[in-house]
Amino acid sequence: MLQHARGSVACRAEPGNPRTTQLRKLLREPGILKGPCCHDGLSARLIEKSGFPFTFMSGFATAGARLGAPDTGLITYSEMVDTGRNIHEATSHIPVIGDGDTGYGNALNVQRTVKGYAQAGFAGILIEDQAWPKSCGHLGGKQVVSREEAVARVKAAVDAREAGADLLVVARTDARQALSMEEALWRVAAFADAGADILFIDALESEEEMRRLCWAGGAAARCPKMANMLEGGGKTPILPPQQLHDMGF
């Protein structure tokens, strides 16, 4: 779930994707945004018809639906982009944020991934700092790349955005589980400084940790925050929308 920033997401002149324009507009408005995850054209169409303002194309769900496999780095860039095209053909207007995982390689791969997702119609892309092969954020045994590489991935995504890929960059860190809450907070602050549009710490374990993300200062204070709650064993408390809103999501 996303809540508008304490500030605003900057608009660029003459954006090429009306779904991106709509997502920026939603993030400037007051209130929390509820976005269920989709994994194919049918699920996205059902979410759109149900009246939700946006949806998230989950890598976890797409790997399960398309491959019948767990979220352990098995699904490829091309399969994700192909699913994204199907989702946009099946829907008419809903903004879709796509799971870009680690960007599928180095900084150049990240830029290619961002451009490919923009061409497929996505309004946003999530880029994370896990070491490959990555896994679902709520599973154990994860590793993250160095601070320098993590920030370089976000900078590469932002550079692609500034070069014309009309979508928002959602910067995710898995450092809460891999290292510490303090490291996760350092990383989201650095991601905001690098130009990320939306911030996300995956697998937060308590309401206090969720508040600490929302209370982050500096450049992070003006970025909307994303909360991800997984039913059936996820680490993050499942809270009602109003409570999340009151926290600052």
pLDDT tens digits for 201-214? 999 999 999 999 99
Sketch the domain layout of the chain as residue ranges. 18-25+32-247
pLDDT reported for residue 231: 82
Mean pLDDT across the stretch 103-108?
94
The pLDDT score that the predictor gives to residue 63 is: 95
Burial 114-126 (b: 16+ CB within 10 A, else e): bbbbbbbbbbbbb
Could you read off the pLDDT of 60-101 as tens digits, one per residue?
A: 999 999 999 988 889 999 999 999 999 999 999 999 999 999
What does pTM read for this prediction?
0.92
**Cα–Cα–Cα angle for 4, 7, 8, nearest 5°?**
70
Residues 194 and 192: their CA atoms lie apart, in Å, by 5
pLDDT tens, residue by residue, 176-199 = 999 999 999 999 999 999 999 999
Q: Angle between the 77-90 and 41-49 helix axes, to the nearest 10 degrees? A: 40
If one looks up domain 18-25+32-247 in CATH, what number appears? 3.20.20.60
Per-residue pLDDT reduced to its tens digit, 155-172? 999 999 999 999 999 999
